[in-house]
Structure 1
Amino acid sequence: MSPGLRAAGGIVKKSGKKAAGGFTGIQFHKGKGQHILKNPMVVQSIVDKAGIKSTDTVLEIGPGTGNLTMRLLEKAKKVIAVEVDPRMVLELQRRVQETPYAASLQVIQGDVMKSELPYFDICVANIPYQISSPLVFKLLTMSSNFRAAIIMFQHEFAMRLVAQRDDKLYSRLAVNTQLLARVHHLLKVGRNNFRPPPQVDSSVVRIEPRRPPPPVNLREWDGLVRLCFLRKNKTLGAIFRQASVLALLEANAATIAALKTTGITQAAAQDANMFEAAGEADNAADIDAMDEDDEAGGTGTNPTQLRGKKHKFSQAFKDRVLAVLDSRGMTERRAAKLSQDDFLALLAAFNAADIHFSP
């Protein structure tokens, strides 16, 4: 696994003296993403690019022993630091005590993916890379009206987030993220800026949630996008002619029709405003191993789950699906060439024809 990177403080030398940063050190675990960001210019650049106001509450995820935390405290009204490692929590508390910033720091010990996050204006995060995608979608689907998140990712993952159509790295991850947020690449951070150096370079990305969020059923959206990126360089006509795709879509239609007859709406049957398992297939640690055409998280229709099974669908339903593609001029188009507006228009056309991507 490729570790996430922490802006952590100093380490203990064999002499027992305090290392740079003013702390008795602790042993950092590479496997847990604990690397020291040793370049103070990079730390300052992250703070500057975050655009922090003096009235802001900053949520910092993965503070380590506090190099970045101290710079954030100089700018913000309050910093809430979420750290899973109790040793790091202790070091951070020691570092800030008896400073003017002691009352401005709140430390939460726990796993950020399992924690209920408090109110914040800006998020700054240096995280284990294996939670990159789940964290992005946790932040983007929460109700808090935060202004932006500035997060350090593995460089390749960051490039997938910001990719545009026609880019080689354009994927479900990019489409899903950019539906919910504006994403900007801020800064590439070479591996030599860390001690010990990780195996990969990193990048800092700014994510600004769209306010208000788009009026889209996210499970329907992700189901469509998942299908389209099953083979992103194949035409949509070829994808939607697959027996497994047609069988699942017709099954979805039957399920929704049954719910309607019993007076249960689709919205009541599911939480339509969440990617239930965001990032399941696209954790950055698995980038090299994953299928390039099955990226990002979510719970959409996945025909690959039905391989080896007999697929049944009606000709009338197939004709209806293909008629939608023809009506939008999408039959010969490919997912890698579609914009956000193209996907939105296609989803609306399918739904208008009672074709759904989430049961």
Structure 2
Amino acid sequence: MRRGGRFEAWVRDVSSGEGGEPWAEAAELNNRGLSLAREGRYSEAITVYLRAVDISRAAGHRKALATALDNLSSVLAWSGRIEEGIAAHEEALAIFVELGDVDGQCAALSNLAAIHVKSGWPGLAVATARRAVEVGRLAGDRSAEALATSHLGQILAVASPGDLARSIKAHRDALAIWREVADRKAEAATLETLAQRLAESGQYSAARATLEQALVVLTDLGHLEDAAALKQFLESFPAGKTGAPGHAIPPVPGVISMFGCLSQLASIGVGAFVIWKNWGTWWWVVAGVVLVVYGLVPKRPQFTSFGTSGTLGVSTPLDPGGDGRQEERPTMTRAYTGAGHF
């Protein structure tokens, strides 16, 4: 245990009977819910999470209960059940505060920020995400602060898709902390997300350099499958500032969004045809010229990806073989695929 708060939480867990078969069942259900949510199967995830909540509550496993409620909160919101999601969040946050669980508090606040985004309150979402960062900072929990800061970057990208500078800064701040605490897995993930933000802002050379750093880290960690996928992607990634493939977060496969290019070509073709067929009728000629001009105006590449859903937030697994004393670190919900694609 790294801090007194966590040690005290562990003592409370043990004294209240944390551990045993109910813990394992609740943990397995919680983790199953995470998998279903990542696949976009929200209705099934909610059912599984609720079962984990019931088992944890009946057994008195406060840590497992809060974790399942927190994971449940954002999935409820993404299913359109905003009020229920906020209620689950409030109960989870109260338990995390009671347990002195800083990681849990930061995760719960980050998920509340995601709920605010879903509710159409981007300003409140940013404020809540910043509150999560502050909770981690004041507690001296650098890892919790880093995760909350990275999620703040995601929230900022959604709240201000036309101004990604603040989002990029947040991801760079998170990256600095991950390097400080020597969490290389989190470092690699943050580098990938930072590269996405840089590419979305048109900084393709910087994005490529950032992905190359991520490749080094993944290779050093021995994550060879992820490294190979990223290396393959980098071979097609442009070094200059013209065009970029629509790869969002490696190793999720990406594609170049061709719809914009095809629509521009179609616009030019239709416009030229209208002018040719209706020469002498001024309003048709004007309409044709407008279509041709629209087709000729350069468009910034749009970033798309497949295999992910449009959720934000953080998710927290539980160790079925544990006993409630282990420190389970939340992880980013790696599903948001870029500014403007929420």
After TM superposition, the score normalised by the length of structure 1 is 0.27
Structure with the larger helix share = 2
Q: Which is richer in strand? A: 1
